[in-house]
Structure 1
């Protein structure tokens, strides 16, 4: 699948995945469109390539007045940056996002500032987010249900990646929309890679989120990057190992070097991400992940 294209999710009726082409990388940004009785878009991309998403929604057969829900998994702008543009285009669609993310989408100024600071030159791949009116958005939390008419999504809080992160479960179809809760499955290396951004990544909470997915035991796990995958014990085990090993590597390198910037530089230089992402994104992603773990370790050490 190429940027701007969409295809059915194998084994799940009426579910499609759209490739936003985020960061000039095919399949990196996954948006899910569920053509249910009350259709829904799950995650929105950065908003930069929104016209292609609009075209996919139309090609799937969903009219502008028909879309019922816009459901970002969390407020990070690679997942929610397009929400305001979708809300403006689809007048009858209600926006739902985990409670702690609502304020960021109503008034995205602070989120934009934080994202620009974190991603640096990578901001060129984002669109300036469009604020969502108060009367179009509400928060959701664990146990809530999103009514799609002929099915429903169950909300589960998953705050390891960020406090405003949730996963959504369709129990009838055996699908979990995991976004970043179980890391990123990268087809080119057939492996799960962690995603641990600052400032609020929490390692223990992240492991709990992966265990939650394990307990739900879905047939299909819809990642926020690189699309859906069949879910089994091996995939879940690999996700756990990836996070444990990554956090330990950062911890050990900090003890060895004694300087956080040197730690970040080391992991940027050693990153395998250049094998499957553009070099600028690879460096930015590795830097974010290393800084997120270092911030987590500062917080944990401060509590001891």
Structure 2
């Protein structure tokens, strides 16, 4: 697939995934188009390439009734306001702790700029969404799409405003970032630990929650769908723990957080440089390292160990 292309999710009825061209990396940003009786868009991309999403919906003849960002991080919800503006009868649903950020994105934008650094060049200022267009979720709800249901499961490890959706009919889980970033070229899942609210044990619990659902397919927010594999998610839990320990040890060795951040950026794995563009891969290392360092600070203040 190339940016702007969409394809059916194998073995699933009327479910498509779209490559939004995020960060200039093929298939990095995956948006899901569910052509149910009451159609839904799951995640919305950053919003800068929203024409790809609009064109795909037009081509498929889909008029969404639901806009479902899995969480408010702008690579998942940045396009929600543009989509809501184009489809004024659609209902936007987000976890209750994320509603304020869609209504007034100012703090979200400020935090994103701080977290992503030079990557902000790939973003666009999000459009605010009127509060009366948004229906809050807390987790545990079932959304009636007419010919199928979507169960919302709270998954706060990556961010406290994150939910994952389970389509029991096709037995598909839309993982948001709760199962990491899937790298199809490597057939592995990599960590995503951005500041400021990453929680190691919460992320591991979220992975276990998805494992317990035992779906047929995992629809990742990055790099598209993959058949469910319990060992893949078990491996992700180990990856998270090893990654946090690596950052902790490097902080102990260097004693300077900026030096730690630059160490991991300079030593970004070669496979990441090959899969993503080099600039994106190194910035991803910086962001993920900052997230772990803040988590370690939080744990220390709480008198807890990892």
* Partner Cα distance (2:114, 2:230) in 1: 37
Note if 1:110 corresponds to 2:107.
yes
Cα displacement (A) at 1:251: 1.2
**1:188 counterpart SS class:** coil
Cα displacement (A) at 1:188: 2.0
Could you say which residue in structure 1 is the equivalent of 2:95? 98
Could you say which residue in structure 2 is the equivalent of 1:262? 259
* Partner Cα distance (1:253, 1:120) in 2: 22
Could you say which residue in structure 2 is the equivalent of 1:239? 236
Cα displacement (A) at 1:185: 0.9
* Partner Cα distance (2:262, 2:125) in 1: 29
**1:142 counterpart SS class:** coil
* Partner Cα distance (1:189, 1:67) in 2: 34
Could you say which residue in structure 2 is the equivalent of 1:47? 47
Could you say which residue in structure 2 is the equivalent of 1:123? 120
| Runs of 5+ consecutive residues of structure 2 not aligned to the other structure | none
Could you say which residue in structure 1 is the equivalent of 2:20? 20
Note if 1:154 corresponds to 2:151.
yes
Q: Where do residues 218-237 of structure 1 align in structure 2 (5 Å cutoff)?
A: 218-237=215-234
Cα displacement (A) at 1:241: 1.5
Could you say which residue in structure 2 is the equivalent of 1:284? 283
| Runs of 5+ consecutive residues of structure 1 not aligned to the other structure | none
**2:290 counterpart SS class:** helix
**2:185 counterpart SS class:** helix
Cα displacement (A) at 1:190: 2.1
Could you say which residue in structure 2 is the equivalent of 1:173? 170
**1:163 counterpart SS class:** coil
Could you say which residue in structure 1 is the equivalent of 2:30? 30
Aligned-residue RMSD, C-alpha: 0.9
Cα displacement (A) at 1:189: 2.1
Q: How many residues align?
A: 301
Cα displacement (A) at 1:8: 0.1
* Partner Cα distance (2:206, 2:134) in 1: 25
List structure 1 runs of 4+ shifted beyond 3 angstroms.
none
Note if 1:72 corresponds to 2:77.
no
1:194-241 CA-to-partner distances (Å, cap 9, x unmatched) read 000001000010000000001111110011000011011121112111
Q: What is the TM-score of this pair, normalised by structure 2? A: 0.97
* Partner Cα distance (1:90, 1:33) in 2: 14
**1:79 counterpart SS class:** helix
Q: Which stretch shifts more, 91-100 or 69-78?
A: 91-100
Residue 80 of structure 2: which of 83, 104, 108 is its match? 83
**2:193 counterpart SS class:** coil
Could you say which residue in structure 1 is the equivalent of 2:302? 303
